[in-house]
Amino acid sequence: MIQAGNELLRHAPSISPNPRRIRSQSRTGVRLLPARLRLIFILSLAAVITIIASGLGCSSEKPAEPTVGVQVVPVKKATIEQTVTSEAVLYPLAQSAIVPKISAPIKAFYVNRASKVHAGQLLATLENRDLAAAAQDNQGSYDQAQAAYAIATASTLPEEIQKAQGDTQAAKVALEAEQKLYDSRQDLYQQGALPRKDLDQAAVALTQARNQYELAQSHLDALMAVSKQQELKSAAGQLQSAKGKYLGAAAQLSYSEIRSPINGVVTDRSLYPGEMASAGTPLLTVMDTSSVIARAHIPQDQAALLKLGDKSTITVPGAGSDEAEPIEGKVTVVSPALDPNSTTVEVWVQAKNPKGRLRPGTSVQISMLARSVPNSLVIPAAAVLTAPDGSNYVMVTGSDNKAHQKPVKTGIRQGDEVQILEGIAEGDRVITSGAYGLPDNTKIRIEAAPESDKTERPPAGKEPEKDAN
């Protein structure tokens, strides 16, 4: 375009409206141009020259630097929490499928489904007239054995034992008499009033009396140790046998009474009165739903972050507004072994269920608090970008109103927020909207957030900071 303008300027004098040249041209047969046409030609030429001159002047100036509108937020310190979430299935705290131990027709039911029961409560009875009669018969035998044992322990000794006791008593008296006689003769002998022969005779008589007494005492002890012991042992054996038969009959009778082993609610009752209850087949099912347990299978690396007692919440997906509120619980079991089929770790979360909102068998969402890190640098997750090499970076606004790329190291992610471990400091302003594809050192213009985003949600575990002024 510039070259065309120069060419036009170079040839412009040759076509200028010179009267002499026009007259010379008229001599060669060219008509004289009208004055009006010459004026238009001159004005057009001036306009072209002006445009070319302005184009030459603009080409020497640099193009204006583009400015990109962005939204920024400051880097703040807050408490961020790392949670482990998973799908789980609810189970009751305790469950008992009550199975009768005997087969008999059902006599009566005292509860229905959804009936609340307590431990030891009578739920049903089976036909038990034959068992009641057998128990009564055995109770009579047991009472009789008790009476026989009491008589055996309180009665007088047998005649043989009585005779042995008499012989022992007589031998003892004779021994005492001979002892006195020997002592008297010994005194007289020492005084010289009695010959030696009489003293020796008294010593022999004393020895014989002592031997008689010891023999009688040994015989009595043997009778007492054998006869009386065996008699008492026989009576005790009969009592124990009668007691065992009675207890067995009473146990059989008790099996006809179906009682609840736990507190809870009846969730299943498959039979009706008059039907046959078979041993080994569940008759009633009772569940304790005062608390529920959410069982989940989670990956091993996430399970390693959990420990017993960690705070948790249970949420029922798709529930109504009243049931959508999370219910607080805690981790009660972290399996020490992996499930061989899925190579995951089974984790239990227990929560109270006083209003019965949580029903066993429901699929729920559990969230377990693994750890909480206070005073962490927290920014919106939307501000973290991924470089082609897989590293993370953020765009930070500088004092020169330009965007600067800074690599960062991220930590815990919680919802729409992420923890920054390295790369930026508190107070830095990071770009949250408009940073994607933005080159480094690009001039930016900070724009206000939309009305829906002006109310900034505080980071987890920290209330909004109030203005110090």
- Per run of 10 residues, the mean pLDDT along the chain (length 469 residues) is 45 46 43 56 65 54 70 90 92 93 93 93 92 88 83 61 81 87 83 81 86 85 66 78 89 91 93 92 93 94 91 83 79 92 93 88 92 89 89 88 89 87 89 83 80 48 39
As for how many domains the chain has, the answer is 5
Pair 214, 363 in one domain = no
463: in domain: no
Based on the fold, state whether residues 363 and 424 are members of the same structural domain. no
Q: Which residues pair with 82 in a beta bridge?
A: 371
Cα separation, 220 vs 326, in Å, equals 85
Residue 88 in any domain: the answer is: no
Q: Are residues 135 and 233 in the same domain?
A: yes
Residue 19 lies in a domain: yes
Task: Answer yes or no: do 170 and 231 share one domain.
Answer: yes
CATH number at residue 435: 2.40.420.20
Does any domain span residue 469? no
The pLDDT, as a whole number, for residue 146 is: 85
SS3 (DSSP) at 133: helix
- Does residue 150 fall inside a structural domain? yes
Out of 372, 392, 415, a domain closes at 372
CA–CA dist 69, 428 (Å, integer): 18
Termini Cα distance of the chain: 64
Question: Are 336 and 368 contained in the same domain?
Answer: yes
Print the domain residue range for 402. Answer: 70-76+374-453
Integer Cα distance of 93 and 350 in angstroms: 8
CATH classification at residue 311: 2.40.30.170
For residues 116 and 265, membership in a common domain is answered with yes
Select from 401, 293, 279 the least CA-distant residue to 353: 293
Does one domain contain both 119 and 264? yes
CA 383 vs. chain centroid, Å, equals: 34
Same domain assignment for residues 367 and 387: no
Quick check: 392 and 409 in contact, CB under 8 A? yes
- Both 294 and 321 in one domain: the answer is yes
Contact criterion met (CB below 8 Å) for 70 and 448: no
Of the residues 372, 398, 427, which one is the last residue of a structural domain?
Answer: 372
- Final residue in a domain of this structure, among 315, 345, 372: 372
| Position 467 in a domain | no
How many distinct helices (H) and strands (E) make up the chain? 8, 19
pLDDT given for residue 403 in this prediction: 87
Say which residues have a Cβ less than 8 Å from residue 355's Cβ, sequence separation at least 6.
Answer: none
In 10 A of CB 169, how many CB atoms?
A: 14
The verdict on residue 85 lying in a domain is no
CA 123, CA 109: separation in Å to the nearest integer? 6
The pLDDT score that the predictor gives to residue 117 is 95
Residues 155 and 301 in one domain: no
Please tell me the distance from the alpha carbon of residue 93 to that of residue 136, in angstroms, as a whole number.
40
Looking at residue 289, its pLDDT comes to 92
Residue 48, pLDDT score: 62
**One domain for residues 228 and 299:** no
Q: What is the CATH number of the domain that holds 122?
A: 2.40.50.100
Q: Does residue 378 lie within any of the structural domains? A: yes
Residues 325 and 213 in one domain: no
